[in-house]
Structure 1
Amino acid sequence: MDELRRIDLNLLLTLHALLAERHVTRAALRLHKSQPAISHALAQLRAHFDDPLLVRRDGRMALTPRAQALVDPLGEALGTLNGLLREEQFDPAAARRRFRLTLSDYSARIILPPLVRYVRRHAPGIDLAVSQASRDAMLAQLVDGEVDIALGIFPDRPETVHVQDLFQEEFISLADKATLPAKGGLGLEEFLERPHVKLALRPDSYDEIEKALGALGLQRHIAVALPHWSAAVELIAGTDLILTAASRTTGAMQPHKALRRFKPPFALPSFSYQQAWHVRRQDDPGHRWLREAVLACSQPSG
């Protein structure tokens, strides 16, 4: 216990954040402290351990061997201590809090409505602030502490970002039924001869559909590129356009009797739709409640 008397335990919390974030500003965001305060704490930690702990390498901050050796035992020790001091279970009915979510037009249509109803019913004091961003921007916002949860597809992500699969999805194509054969869909050649609508925040993005066609040495002609699913559906009726998108969004086509869905004439792998959050939020009881709510509201009805 003599060593504990020589250090302020708050410094250990700062050290844990610095080791996880490897960045003074992000550690400050994680701890809700100012950057100068974290810089001062880092100077104290360096003096205590007689080691720089964080050093600049190839333009980025990296852990020294001494700091790397502290990661696991420090995390375990703080986790044990946190268990001893844990507050009462999170009470959503009494909570007063604001969570920031970033999601696409797709999840705004599929997940957000049932989630808002769930929150209003079980946690009326919780507010949701929703924004939209590209996949890369979502991950950057999670790392920088700008948002609490991101919804999307995250095959490549930083090690500090955790994900949970919400459901499996597959692609389906839509077109005006007057432009399709009486039964079935289109062959690959006919499919590629037709103009296409692309759903993307950036018109020049190389998404899963383009990757699958590219692997075959093929490409489609994008006649219209836009970020909004609902508008995309409105564009198709009465035209020769084809829209290929996630299948659960086709619920929006019910009022459009002129449209028909069909299977794309080339292999498109199914994918997991996910929620993502930064490790700093992992053990936050309120955040855990929201993640469970998102999962519950993502399941297909019926």
Structure 2
Amino acid sequence: MIYILQMNLAGLDLNLLVALDALLAEASVGRAALRLNLSQPAVSHALRRLREATGDPLLVRIGPRMELTPRAQALRAPLAQALDQVRGLFVAEGFDPATSPRGFRLMMPDLCVDLLMPTVLQQVAAAAPGVRLDVIPWRGPAVMTPDFARTVDLVIAWTGEAYPGFHRQSLYVDRDALAVRRGHPDARRLSDLAVFNAARHVAVVGAGERDDAIEPFLRQAGIERRIALAVPSYLQALRMTARTDLVAFVPRRLIAALAEPLDLVTVEPPIDPGEDRQYLFHPVLAQFDPGAAWLRELVLKVGRGL
């Protein structure tokens, strides 16, 4: 490497390094020409220029054969290393799920953890047993900045806004419904608006939020439900619903996923707030990262397969 760096790089054709690699490997102008798919005169010309650049003959004739000079012998290992480094500048780093020990960082709300991660983990374990997934909780739209994009591989969120530094794709669509414990005394009547208003509700108020996401819609429709408890996550809301007579207005898919372990039932609400759409965001910087692309495709497949 030291010898190579001593060359006048400003006037050096880097193709000469490829020719030098072939000459050092073959110790023959003719065989090097075949290896490079060039004519012998072209390789002879390259050898002449290399001799001028290094100040060493590199190949000398001893009897019927050409032999490498001590300087040429010393160049073999550092030259191979240098060429590998140069090639690496132009070849994207690969990703082999089966052997990768890579860790990925994902941000998502708790309902997406419960809906997506069991299947995602199953598929990751099968295809990439050495991969680790670190999930951090959704911290609100304010965190979605270009600086944050450098610290995360993907984000799942309900917000449909576009954020600088991120690309956005639709992941899945859901609708809200009411969750109550099995045996709730008003389960059959909660679809009636008067019974719905009279019920004791558990609201989900996330970090940095002032209201449950459903609240503005209900107010616009002239509905003021009776909130008895506010908790920071859908999972906590469903756990409290399972152990009390509280009513939770939450995404329907989450109720279905936890209905059996928590002994919950789904009730049609008296008013339909419309679609609940979740989006996958990924950093623009990771657009061509093969590992991040592999994870995105896996998560998108799971989400769209719900």
Q: Tell me whether the two structures share a fold, i.e. TM-score over 0.5.
A: yes
Indicate if the aligned counterparts of 2:110 and 2:234 stay in contact, CA closer than 8 A: yes
Indicate if the aligned counterparts of 1:101 and 1:147 stay in contact, CA closer than 8 A: yes
Indicate if the aligned counterparts of 1:93 and 1:124 stay in contact, CA closer than 8 A: yes
Q: Which residue of 1 aligns with 2:157?
A: 152
The equivalences for 1:12-161 within 5 A come to 85-87=90-92, 90-140=95-145, 143-161=148-166
Q: Which residue of 1 aligns with 2:228?
A: 223
When normalised by structure 2's length, the TM-score is 0.63
Q: Which residue of 1 aligns with 2:214?
A: 209
1:185 to 1:271, Cα distance in 2 relative to 1, 3 A: same
Separation of aligned partners in 2, 1:261 and 1:141: 40
Separation of aligned partners in 1, 2:106 and 2:146: 10
1:96 to 1:240, Cα distance in 2 relative to 1, 3 A: closer
The equivalences for 1:187-198 within 5 A come to 187-198=192-203
- Write out per-residue CA displacement over residues 56-77 of structure 1, whole angstroms, 9 at most, x where no aligned residue: xxxxxxxxxxxxxxxxxxxxxx
Indicate if the aligned counterparts of 1:98 and 1:128 stay in contact, CA closer than 8 A: yes
When normalised by structure 1's length, the TM-score is 0.64
Percent identical residues: 27
Indicate if the aligned counterparts of 1:142 and 1:149 stay in contact, CA closer than 8 A: no
Separation of aligned partners in 2, 1:149 and 1:86: 24
- Write out per-residue CA displacement over residues 34-61 of structure 1, whole angstroms, 9 at most, x where no aligned residue: xxxxxxxxxxxxxxxxxxxxxxxxxxxx
1:188 to 1:286, Cα distance in 2 relative to 1, 3 A: same
Separation of aligned partners in 2, 1:206 and 1:235: 18
User: Letter of the aligned partner of 1:205 in structure 2?
Assistant: R
Indicate if the aligned counterparts of 2:170 and 2:277 stay in contact, CA closer than 8 A: yes
1:272 to 1:178, Cα distance in 2 relative to 1, 3 A: closer
SS of equivalent to 2:179: strand
Q: Which residue of 2 aligns with 1:270?
A: 275
Separation of aligned partners in 2, 1:271 and 1:288: 25
Q: Which residue of 1 aligns with 2:291?
A: 286
Separation of aligned partners in 1, 2:170 and 2:223: 30
Alpha-carbon RMSD across the aligned residues, in angstroms, is 2.7
For residue 137 of structure 1, report the CA deviation from its aligned partner: 4.7
1:286 to 1:94, Cα distance in 2 relative to 1, 3 A: same
User: Letter of the aligned partner of 1:179 in structure 2?
Assistant: P
Separation of aligned partners in 2, 1:112 and 1:287: 16
Q: Which residue of 1 aligns with 2:49?
A: none
- Write out per-residue CA displacement over residues 197-235 of structure 1, whole angstroms, 9 at most, x where no aligned residue: 122323853343112112123332321122343432232
1:238 to 1:149, Cα distance in 2 relative to 1, 3 A: closer
For residue 291 of structure 1, report the CA deviation from its aligned partner: 0.1
Separation of aligned partners in 2, 1:297 and 1:168: 13
Number of residue pairs aligned between Structure 1 and Structure 2:
217
Separation of aligned partners in 1, 2:114 and 2:248: 17
Separation of aligned partners in 1, 2:142 and 2:134: 16
SS of equivalent to 1:178: coil
Q: Pick the structure with greater CA Rg.
A: 2
For residue 300 of structure 1, report the CA deviation from its aligned partner: 4.4
1:140 to 1:203, Cα distance in 2 relative to 1, 3 A: closer
User: Letter of the aligned partner of 2:203 in structure 1?
Assistant: K
Indicate if the aligned counterparts of 1:96 and 1:125 stay in contact, CA closer than 8 A: yes
Structure 1 counterpart of 2:186, from 180, 186, 209? 180
Structure 2, unaligned stretches of length 5 or more?
Answer: 1-9, 11-88
User: Letter of the aligned partner of 1:278 in structure 2?
Assistant: P
User: Letter of the aligned partner of 1:252 in structure 2?
Assistant: L
For residue 271 of structure 1, report the CA deviation from its aligned partner: 2.4
The equivalences for 1:6-17 within 5 A come to none
1:217 to 1:203, Cα distance in 2 relative to 1, 3 A: farther
Runs of 4+ in structure 1 off by over 6 angstroms are: none
Structure 2 counterpart of 1:232, from 228, 237, 250? 237
SS of equivalent to 1:293: helix
Separation of aligned partners in 2, 1:123 and 1:138: 30
